Amino acid sequence: QTQLFGVLLAAASNFLISVSLNIQKCAHLRLALRAEPKPCYRSKLWCWGIALLGLAELGNFTAYALAPIALVAPLGCVSVLGSAFISVFFLKKTMRTADILGGTLTITGIYLLVTFAPNVPQELTARQVQNYLVSWPFLVYSILEILIFCILLYFYKRKAVKHIMVLLMMVALLASLTVIAVKAVASMIALSVTGKMQLTYSVFSVMSVLMATSCAFQIKFLNQAMHLYEATVVVPINFVFFTTSAIISGVIFYREFQSAALLSVFMFLFGCLLSFLGVIIIAKNKKEEHLQIPFIDCGHIPGQKLTGKIQPDSHCSCYGTLNKEDDLVKRQS
């Protein structure tokens, strides 16, 4: 029952994230259409979106204490699925055939994930976390992960390689540490709330620092990827990398599939594959939306007193006016 509640909480939280993001985007679109734009934080709609996002992330944090990492992490596809369908109502987008097909695959994958996920006790004490930290599988995994991350960071810093795979692989490596720390911290807080104090152990502080640090650098590299590449490319690749790294870290650190049957493991991985395909299909060929400014008022250009409008010319980098003083404007600009 505890694991089922964690699953429902994670699914609801990820759906709430999609609602939040669409509300924020709707707020930005409304602000852009105003005659006198104001900062987004002064919009009540945007503030509601941020509040929902915070509530959703708190729910996700709690879900890690109640359910296995291998089950909570893949449920991030609910956010992508929810965003595809909610945007039809919030942003008046058109429902595509790809959205329906991708949604069907994603829902099927979620069903297989929940059905064949590992059923292991989720009560983690500070001493158990300490034992996991010094276990040889995790030590070997940590050394390999640090080595790979240092190689990628060398190419990123020294060779200025900003390829999307390099950026998102670094995000995934950091994410594996983040989910390990999040589950440990959330579990120790949950036990402390029930009366079994765990917050006085030094491992709680260590995992809290690891959680905050890895999360901060993860956001840094993810923002870099979002800046250089379109969201339609970043979102599916990041979801696949993040989910894969989270499942591997859960298997190695928390030994979540230690006693699972071979058929259950196969069906779980098949569910992951279906959810990956669903997210990729939903994001594929999805056009990026940009706010378009139909004209630039000449009254806002210093030194100009023209009453016409300047239109961007699609065939060159200069602007073309809608009046007879076109040549004058071009010469002065």
Instruction: Give pLDDT tens digits for 52-74.
Output: 888 988 999 999 988 899 889 99
Mean pLDDT (the chain, rounded): 81
Other beta carbons within 10 Å of 68: 23
Q: How confident is the model at residue 239 (pLDDT cuts 50, 70, 90)?
A: very high
Angle made by CA atoms 225, 227, 231, in degrees to the nearest 5 = 70
The pair of structure tokens assigned to 149 is 């991350």
Q: Is the pLDDT of residue 83 over 70?
A: yes
Q: Is the pLDDT of residue 227 over 70?
A: yes
Percent of all residues in the chain with a pLDDT value above 70, rounded to a whole number = 83
Q: Is the pLDDT of residue 120 over 70?
A: yes
Domain ranges for the chain: 1-119+265-291, 123-255
In sequence order, which residues have a C-beta less than 8 Å from that of residue 318 and are 6 or more positions away?
A: 330, 333
Q: What would the pLDDT profile of 159-179 be if each residue is shown by its tens digit?
A: 888 899 999 999 999 999 999
The pLDDT value recorded for residue 90 is 65
Q: How confident is the model at residue 312 (pLDDT cuts 50, 70, 90)?
A: very low
Range in 69-78, 107-116, 308-317 the model is least confident about: 308-317
Q: Is the pLDDT of residue 325 over 80?
A: no
User: Within 13 A of 311's CA, how many CA atoms are on the CB side?
Assistant: 8
The pLDDT value recorded for residue 91 is 64
The pLDDT value recorded for residue 34 is 75
214-236 CB burial, b ≥16 within 10 A, e <16: bbebbeebbebbeeebeeebbbb
From CA 301, how far away is CA 211, in angstroms rounded? 49
The pLDDT value recorded for residue 283 is 84
Q: What would the pLDDT profile of 278-303 be if each residue is shown by its tens digit?
A: 999 988 766 554 444 333 333 444 44
Model-level pTM?
Answer: 0.78
Nearest CA-CA partner of 171 in 89, 98, 257, 229: 229
